[in-house]
Structure 1
Amino acid sequence: MAGAGGRVAVVTGGSAGVGRAVVRALAADGCDVAVLARGRTGLRAAVAEVEAAGRRGLALQTDVADAKAVEEAADRAEEGLGPVDVWVNCAFAGFLAPFTEVDDEEFRRVTDVTYHGQVNGTRAALRLMGPRDRGVVVNVGSALSGRGIPLQSAYCGAKHAVVGFTEAVRTELEHRRSGVRICGVQLPGMNTPQFTWVLNRMPGRPQPVPPIYQPEVAARAVVFLARHPRRNAWVGVSTAYTLLGNRVAPWLADRYLARTGFASQQTGEDTPVRPANLFAPSDEHEDAGAHGPFDDRAHGHDAWGWASRHRTVLACAGVVACGLSALGGPLRSGARRR
């Protein structure tokens, strides 16, 4: 089995959805991967895919809301695979319900997994990476990190908190002139199994807010950040117009979402539904994989993300184009004089 010379990555929430796609992409990029999640079946399947790609995989059944469990999993990852180079915090939980129809325990659980799970993962990663003065932490966020929507109050609050937390830790690392980098990536609506097992108190079946993207689109962005860390990355043009639009006219977004936000997150289609995974894994006995039930509507490519990843090349091309345009005037004038 491969191992020598390869990087070691840890992915939380790696048994399904975006996390599963990230596990596959990192393995394809030459990483050995430790996968943290609760469901044993999904964990085993994810590790099997890492090994099929010729890399070493390690399944670590972990609830990321448990700080001690995450620390123990981090140590086991290094014992089993070697020094961790990349840590991706991807685990989350959610519900589709008005705030007034969610009790305290449910709200706290979403916050503990989606926010404290990233805090716990980051703490464990920095404990390992800090003494070596190298490594990359990627905190997976959402367009909802900068714009709240109805029916997802806990998730939106948690993703807002992740952004503030990541910015604070980044400044502390820069203050110490650390070689460890911490990045954020903000995602649009993704076609993942989460929408078949989210806690739902609405009459319709849950769906991502369109436009919907395939999880591999997000995985490409995460792998890019792992190799070329930068402060933040946006995936999907919808993420860009959500975040930018809310900065310009948040009151307009309030009114628009009040009118459309309930219906846009529900579908009347007959999609498979598993038990809610808020307090127990829904993929304990069935591998959910990376994709949800929206393959026929999901985009597999992202022009915005591609442009962001290749912004240096595009900027150089723009400079060359401007230079040629500026040079064209004198050349045409000279030709006319002759």
Structure 2
Amino acid sequence: MRPILVFCLPAIGDFIRCHSAIQVLAEKFPGCPIDVTTSALAAPLARLMPHIRKTWIVEKHWRPGLKQRARLARELRKENYQAAYMLTSSTKAALVPWLAGIPERIGYPREFQFGIINRLPAGWLKSFVAFGPRKTRLFEQVCTIAMRGEKPTDGMRLPAPQMAVPAEELSDWRARHGIEPARPALALYTSAFTNFRSWPAERFISIAKDHARRGWSVWLIGGPREREAAAQIRAAFPEAVDFTSTPRLADAMCQIAASTAFLGVDGGLCHAAAALGGPCVLIFGSNRSYETGPVNDHVRYIEPPISTPSWVYHTRDVSEERVLAALADAMAQTRRLQEA
């Protein structure tokens, strides 16, 4: 059976959400190999996702020119793909499967790529006039492309993204970092405290101290954007372990998978935590969780009160008490599932 190629989005959170569409295709074409393209940043996540055979690297659309894309197209031509699903709207991305001679190139012509994209999902014109499916959640957009515009049947639930870190890789990571498997750990993902998506520093510190008093380790995870926030937390709570200098995304996935619970804000790593399946509590601004948050059922969202205007994105009105209660509830649910 000839393989399928899926052009995914380049950002970490967006790429993870594309896994919903990949699962739709795996169910629609059982046994058919599925390959993906994404950025070098997100590519390490593909091996943790079911149904993906191979990953091709395509840098963000404003970087490489036609020469680099033509080179990739020549490599893709050797794979004899039957179809390419364009989950990204970039014209430069759409040129690659066209140059590779892939017969079916399915997607929305958001940048007027008529001809370059030659299979339009059902109802594409309505979406096009409404400025594309960006009116709906990204999770639903990519699944719509995978289903070629067909509406889900009654009772059908679109699949949530899934990832899993191999047990041996997780064990090796714990050994390298001297992590005690029996000791519970709370992973904190803060974003930058200057970012409207974050939560006040003193509240993260209070949550960290509360868990430390109960014997938990506290891990600060993220990358360059979170390093200043991590330093601020460690200044008030030196016992916290700072993992924000992690050089590899694969190590960040081990940190999340090895933690007992994840507390974070809107960002790429919150989608990773949700897809990895552990207890996950996320702090979001008003009405943002539906639009940009993970769709995994086990995720607990804490948002400002309903009385807060929907245009207020800040999270200052989220109390520590609500967050602690949500963490306790998420842990209790995990225990119930393990005992069932």
Taking structure 2 as the reference length, the TM-score comes to: 0.39
- Relative contact order (C-alpha < 8 Å, sep 6+): which is higher? 1
Taking structure 1 as the reference length, the TM-score comes to: 0.39
Of Structure 1 and Structure 2, the greater helix share is in: 1
